[in-house]
């Protein structure tokens, strides 16, 4: 019988990760079955699986076994009720209250999913998307812009006319929800979005947060120019987008020297309130840039606080981020922007 030392030297096969396991399972299926599954996934997921399928083409029997075990284990957590739930629920509701009432009820309570017409956009070439943005009505362009992955949207808008860029970003930032009919048919977006008196299922889309993600992917000069153009139309909206482009959590992205410079410019009481709404890692990160005495003072103030209103925390964090933007504008610190750029 081998001793403990000998057992320690036995090589072990690392646990297979999710992408590799999924790739192996797909390759075990019939081609048509695998294709049916892939059609349900997002473009980036398909790309990841395609790479994983090449990487696992020579998978060992042990790795195949691990993939199957992983599938069986995860499958136990899937409720039988979830399989075909949409169809069964709609059938029951229709038989109970009729087509019209069922549609009204389900429009209000059923989970919303991205329409196929918008999913197609996620697969298009960037140049083709730019062409759509340039040729369609700006409101349709804003809808297109809002459903794209931020880095693709940033590249698609980069080659457009400066006036159109600002118009599209402004419209996308002002989007809150769009009728489902408009999402399914981009050509009728204006007509569908302004139907009076109809209860139409809506899907949350666009808004300052999504636009901020897009603009963070843009080159420095383009994002700055777009913000300036936005301020001419709506200063408050432009300020909201600026705030969303670099939020309090993004302080983690600053180097220690820059973070220390920022926090030395912040009132201790304000910092204590701002940190009260974060996790312990963020607290440690911030206080590590300060002297022992200063960090102890902040911790004491936080300990003395009981309940702090979320509005007060948000206000304190926004105040700190204003200081960050001012210092960045003055060149005192650098904030990472799109690619290897800095602002």
pLDDT at residue 115, as a whole number: 46
Structure tokens at 82: 């979830």
pLDDT at residue 233, as a whole number: 86
DSSP state, residue 187: G
Count of residues for the chain?
Answer: 343
- 90-94, 139-143, 194-198: which has the minimum mean pLDDT? 194-198
Q: Would you say residue 12 has pLDDT above 60? A: no
Q: Which residue has the higher pLDDT, 81 or 96?
A: 96
pLDDT-based confidence at 196, cuts 50/70/90?
very low
Backbone phi and psi for residue 2, each to the nearest 5 degrees, phi listed first? -65, 145
Q: Would you say residue 289 has pLDDT above 80? A: yes
Count of CB atoms within 10 A of residue 147's CB? Answer: 21
CA geometry: angle 115, 158, 227, nearest 5 deg:
95
DSSP string for 199-260? ---EEE--SHHHHHHHHHHS-HHHHHHHHHHHHHH-HHHHHHHHHHHS-GGGGGGS-HHHHH
pLDDT at residue 236, as a whole number: 86
DSSP state, residue 125: -
Backbone phi and psi for residue 204, each to the nearest 5 degrees, phi listed first? -60, 135
Backbone phi and psi for residue 58, each to the nearest 5 degrees, phi listed first? -110, 35
pLDDT-based confidence at 330, cuts 50/70/90?
confident
pLDDT-based confidence at 11, cuts 50/70/90?
very low
Q: Quick one: which of 62, 147, 150 has its CA closest to 113? A: 147
Q: Which residue has the higher pLDDT, 132 or 173?
A: 173
pLDDT at residue 53, as a whole number: 85
pLDDT at residue 85, as a whole number: 64
Q: First and final CA of the chain: distance in angstroms?
A: 65
Q: CA of 114: how far to CAs of 150, 179, 199, in Å? A: 16, 12, 19
pLDDT at residue 216, as a whole number: 75
pLDDT at residue 61, as a whole number: 85
Q: Report pLDDT digits (tens) over 104-157.
A: 666 555 554 444 445 556 666 788 788 878 877 787 788 888 877 788 888 888
Q: Would you say residue 97 has pLDDT above 80? A: no
Q: What is the mean pLDDT of residues 248-263?
A: 86
Q: What is the pLDDT of the chain when averaged over all its residues? A: 75
Structure tokens at 134: 């340039």
pLDDT at residue 201, as a whole number: 37
Count of CB atoms within 10 A of residue 158's CB? Answer: 15
Q: Which residue has the higher pLDDT, 68 or 187?
A: 68
Strand partners, 178: 203
Q: Report pLDDT digits (tens) over 43-63.
A: 777 878 888 888 888 888 888
- 38-42, 271-275, 301-305, 338-342: which has the minimum mean pLDDT? 338-342
Handedness of CA 263, 267, 269, 274 (dihedral sign): negative
Cβ-contact 342, 334 below 8 angstroms: yes
Q: Which residue has the higher pLDDT, 229 or 125?
A: 229
Q: Which residue has the higher pLDDT, 42 or 48?
A: 48
Q: Which residue has the higher pLDDT, 42 or 62?
A: 62
DSSP state, residue 305: -
pLDDT at residue 141, as a whole number: 84
Cβ-contact 301, 330 below 8 angstroms: no
């Amino acid at each position: 019988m081998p001793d403990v030392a000998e057992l320690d030297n036995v090589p072990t096969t690392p646990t297979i990760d999710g992408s590799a396991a999924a790739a192996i399972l797909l390759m075990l299926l019939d081609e048509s079955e695998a294709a049916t599954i892939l059609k349900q996934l997002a473009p980036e997921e398909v790309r990841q699986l395609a790479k994983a399928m090449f990487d696992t083409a020579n998978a060992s029997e042990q790795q195949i076994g691990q993939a199957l075990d992983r599938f069986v284990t995860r499958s136990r957590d899937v409720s039988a009720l979830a399989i075909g739930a949409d169809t069964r629920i709609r059938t029951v509701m229709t038989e109970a209250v009729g087509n019209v009432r069922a549609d009204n009820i389900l429009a209000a309570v059923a989970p919303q999913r991205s329409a196929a017409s918008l999913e197609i956009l996620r697969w298009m070439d960037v140049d083709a998307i730019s062409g759509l943005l340039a040729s369609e009505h700006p409101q349709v362009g804003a809808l297109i812009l809002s459903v794209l992955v931020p880095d693709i949207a940033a590249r698609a808008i980069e080659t457009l006319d400066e006036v159109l860029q600002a118009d599209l970003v402004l419209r996308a930032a002002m989007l809150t929800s769009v009728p489902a009919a408009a999402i399914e048919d981009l050509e009728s977006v204006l007509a569908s979005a302004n139907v009076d008196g109809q209860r139409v299922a809506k899907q949350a889309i666009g808004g300052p947060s999504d636009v901020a993600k897009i603009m963070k992917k843009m080159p420095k000069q383009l994002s700055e120019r777009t913000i300036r153009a936005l301020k001419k139309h709506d200063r408050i909206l432009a300020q909201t987008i600026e705030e969303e482009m670099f939020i309090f959590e993004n302080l983690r992205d600053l180097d220690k020297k820059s973070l220390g410079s920022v926090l030395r410019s912040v009132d201790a009481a304000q910092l204590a309130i701002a940190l009260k709404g974060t996790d312990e890692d963020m607290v440690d990160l911030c206080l590590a840039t300060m002297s022992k005495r200063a960090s102890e003072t902040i911790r004491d103030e936080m300990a003395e606080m009981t309940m702090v209103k979320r509005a007060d925390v948000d206000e304190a964090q926004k105040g700190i981020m204003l200081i960050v933007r001012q210092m960045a504008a003055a060149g005192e610190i650098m904030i990472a922007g799109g690619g290897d750029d800095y602002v």
